[in-house]
Amino acid sequence: MKKLALPAALSVAATPAFAATGPFFSLGNTDFIVLIAFIVFVAVLVYFKVPGLIVGLLDKRADGIKSELEEAKALREDAQALLASYERKQKEVQAQADRIVESAKAEAAAAAEQAKVDLQASITRRLAAAEEQIASAEASAVKDVRDTAITAAVSAAREVIAKQMTDAKAAELTEKSIEEAKTRLN
């Protein structure tokens, strides 16, 4: 009943109620009829516990909003944890990529150094082979020159001997050669 007393007191104290003509508490006064209808309406609402239902619905709605906020907060925390996890994984992948790049650079440098060493060894082998070919060609040329010189000397000696040789000298040389061969063979 306390809940009804306040609206009733407010409606009696309302300024438009004093503006009506005639006595206030008569059925001819429309303001009084509106007041009675309002009081009956509020009484019906209280009787059927509508304010409690409305408060219950509002509480239920507040609880729903509160649970949605808690769920949103939990989802936000999960999202932050997932973001931190992805950031950590990204840093790990970046570090791994940096290590791979450094390793590749080191391997490339080692391969370049090895290529330099191999090239130097190849150049040294080719120079040695070229020097060997030059020495062989030089020896062959010297041998050819000697053979040609010997052939020319023998030819020249034959001509000189042929010009100076007589039959008597030839017979004498032949005898000396036979004697010399006999002494050597014995």
Q: Is residue 172 part of a domain?
A: yes
Q: Is residue 177 part of a domain?
A: yes
Q: Mean pLDDT over all residues of the chain?
A: 86
Instruction: Tally the domains of the chain.
Output: 1
Element housing 16 (H / E): helix 15-18
Q: Is residue 48 part of a domain?
A: no
What pTM does this model have?
0.39
Residue 119 clears pLDDT 70, i.e. is over it: yes
Domain that holds residue 163: 153-185
Q: Is residue 181 part of a domain?
A: yes
Q: Is residue 179 part of a domain?
A: yes
Residues 136-186: tens digit of each pLDDT: 988 899 888 888 888 888 888 778 777 777 777 778 888 888 888 888 886
- Mapping DSSP onto H, E and C, the string for 38-86 reads HHHHHHHHHHCCHHHHHHHHHHHHHHHHHHHHHHHHHHHHHHHHHHHHH
